[in-house]
Chain A
Amino acid sequence: MQPGATTSAIPVTGGPVQDRSRPAHSRSRRRVNRLGLALVAPAFAVIAVLVLYPSISSIVGSFQRYELTDPNRSFSGFRNYVEVLTDPAFLQSLANTAGYFVVITLAVLLMGLATALWLQSLRGVWRAVALTVVVLPWAVPGTVAGVLWSFILNPTGAGLLNSVLKSLNLISGYQAWLNMPLAGIVVIGLTVAWSAAPLGVVVLLAGLEGIPREIYEQSLVDGAGRAKQFVSITLPLLRPALAIVLLNGAVLSIGLFDQVYVLVGLDPQKITVAGSMYLYAFRDFNFGFGFAASVIATAITAAISLVYLGLVYREEEY
């Protein structure tokens, strides 16, 4: 069988030992092994060549000199990391990323919770219609979402936000929202939250639906009000779902690129770590720095993931 041959390089454990001890099963056992590997082979091949190999290649490359203009590819230890971590532009992008993380996570968490609770209170057709409306931003590509929001955030009176706030007398003059240093990050973070909230709502709604109703009924008997129920039952039992939303917020803000790119370009005051990596690699053509930046970003994401997963699986009981 041809496909089996291509997958034999994958380390297999345990198979042959069992085969020898139970000869009656060995033929069917070997057939299952071969069939399983054959079915998985194409997927594994794609992932090995296009995900695993380049990931390892990035990590190896981060310890080498690697500039397109210079053929020298010698091992350079942590030099790329030191250079990147002492580059003010990279540190600025790190700070921007932290800002986006706070804004995106808070916004998705609060809006997602409110929206999920609202959806849960709806029934039948209303719920289906409301769910469609809520999920809609998910369908909008990041760059197009950036374009849509640029019309709302337009610095002149033609922008929807300026126009509404002015007519309510909440601002005296038209504001260039995206040019402000800190407020700009908040505003861009909110537009990203617009795109990210639907997934958060779906996860939180699934979490809410998973809480046994008897617990609410029992607490009602015990005289608990809505607010008390929310704090003492809903929030604790929703912890796994909340962790997923938090995790997604971190992954999203570290990798954020498209919406920022469309709204403010590659502005050093606004780009994230992923933006820094893009500039090192495809503007400066210093792949070594690009590798180091991408490994740092991935390491931060991994560290945050482990902390969250630890929090979720530390204790999970009713």
Chain B
Amino acid sequence: MRGGRTGHGPFWGAVRILVGVLVVVWSLAPIYWATVIAFATPADIRRSPAALLPQGFSPGNFGRLLAPGSATADVFVSALGSSVVQALGTTVLTLAVALPAAYAFARLRFAGSRALLVVITVTLAVPVYLVLIPLFQLATATGQINTQQGVVLVLTSAALPLAIWILRSHIVTLPEDLESAARLDGAGTFRVLRSVVGPLVAPGLVAAAVVTFLASWGAFLVPLVYANTTGTEPLTVLIPTFASKFSSDYGLQSAAGLIAVLPPVVLVVLLQKHLLSGLLKGATR
């Protein structure tokens, strides 16, 4: 029970409810409205003034978007595939590279560890536009333009510093005794990493994985420059082109938008608890 509880008068109670209603409406309105449009008929979408509540349930927009042979089906499915490959690829590669580094920074006092950690922390502050042109030149010179692995590498470099930071903050909070016990039993460092540190650091791994996935699934400037042709362009690059190509077809655009939003939203809803506890633990260290 908090001390503040006793301070609740009817005034603060009303303020609390009002703020709550505003927060919920504000957070959900864009998603709600796109859902209404996505499942509406063309006539209902054009209605002016618009009806605030859904007038029916029609999957027609999704049909037009995904029906085999339609103008959009092939490019959309291809972009969905690219989004999945790039976001999952970046997440897996980032965690695979970040976890050993984070462990070393948290547990081993090796020569140069401090300087390296400072360098990696400083790169947290390097904005993507500063590295955009040189990476474009590098990718052109090495033939990595319009390849999935090219995008994955750039997105990984952008996600790494934060992932290392989150994981390191976690490992620091874990009891060291367990590791020394495993080591006394004859386990090597990689064995210790896999079977002792791994399970304990799971909440941190989940947080780092979700943050990396959200960032790479939502990335725009990087794929816009390095992967902007059919076959490699992800949903974030494709969907804005719908706005000009099918400018008044809000049904099609909202159906595409909803599909693009679904994977990250499901992830956040399912993993919200781990995500937040993982992030907050990292924030306080």
A contacts, CB < 8 Å to B: 10-15, 32-37, 39-40, 42-44, 46-47, 49-55, 57-58, 61, 111, 114-115, 117-118, 121, 128, 130-152, 154, 156-160, 162-164, 166-167, 194, 202-203, 206, 210, 213, 216-217, 220, 225-226, 229, 251, 254-255, 257-258, 261-262, 274, 277-278, 281-282, 287, 290-291, 294-295, 297-298, 301-302, 305
Nearest A residue (CB) for B238: A143
Told that A51-B131, A54-B138 touch, could you supply 18 new A-B pairs with CB distance under 8 A? A12-B111, A40-B101, A55-B134, A115-B19, A136-B27, A145-B30, A147-B254, A148-B34, A151-B30, A158-B50, A160-B33, A163-B48, A202-B280, A220-B4, A251-B125, A261-B240, A274-B127, A287-B133
Whether a CB of chain A sits under 8 angstroms from the CB of B175 is no
Inter-chain CA distance A225–B4, complex, in Å, is 9
Across-interface contacts of B48 in A (CB, < 8 A): 156-158, 163
Give 5 nearest A-B pairs by CB, closest first: A36-B110, A157-B48, A141-B218, A50-B157, A54-B134
Cβ of B42 to closest chain A Cβ, rounded Å:
11
Across-interface contacts of B161 in A (CB, < 8 A): 47, 51
With A43-B101, A131-B272 as given contacts, are A255 and B128 in contact (CB-CB < 8 Å)? yes
Cβ of A233 to closest chain B Cβ, rounded Å:
11
Across-interface contacts of B113 in A (CB, < 8 A): 36, 40
Across-interface contacts of B284 in A (CB, < 8 A): 206, 210
Dominant SS among interface residues on chain B: helix
Q: Of residues A132, A149, A254, A302, which shows the largest number of chain B Cβ atoms within 10 Å of its Cβ?
A: A132
Interface residues on B, range: 35 or more
Inter-chain CA distance A10–B217, complex, in Å, is 33
Nearest B residue (CB) for A305: B125
Complex partner residue of A251 from B3, B24, B127, B134, CB under 8 angstroms: B127
Cβ of B132 to closest chain A Cβ, rounded Å:
7
Dominant SS among interface residues on chain A: helix
Complex partner residue of B104 from A35, A51, A144, A302, CB under 8 angstroms: A35
Across-interface contacts of A143 in B (CB, < 8 A): 218, 220, 236-237, 239-240
Inter-chain CA distance A50–B33, complex, in Å, is 40
How many residue pairs, one in A and one in B, have C-beta atoms under 8 Å apart?
Answer: 308
Across-interface contacts of A130 in B (CB, < 8 A): 20, 23-24
12 contacts between A and B (CB under 8 A): A40-B100, A46-B157, A47-B119, A115-B23, A137-B27, A140-B218, A141-B264, A148-B30, A151-B33, A152-B29, A158-B48, A206-B283
Q: State which residues 212-247 of B face A: CB under 8 Å.
A: 214, 217-221, 225, 235-237, 239-240, 243
Cβ of A234 to closest chain B Cβ, rounded Å:
10
Q: Is the CB of B221 within 8 A of A217?
A: no
Q: Is the CB of A301 within 8 A of B243?
A: no
B contacts, CB < 8 Å to A: 2-4, 6-7, 12, 16, 19-20, 22-24, 26-31, 33-34, 37, 45-50, 52, 97-98, 100-101, 103-105, 108-113, 115-116, 119-120, 123, 125-138, 153-154, 156-158, 160-161, 164, 189, 214, 217-221, 225, 235-237, 239-240, 243, 250, 253-254, 257, 260-261, 264-265, 267-269, 272-273, 275-276, 279-280, 283-284
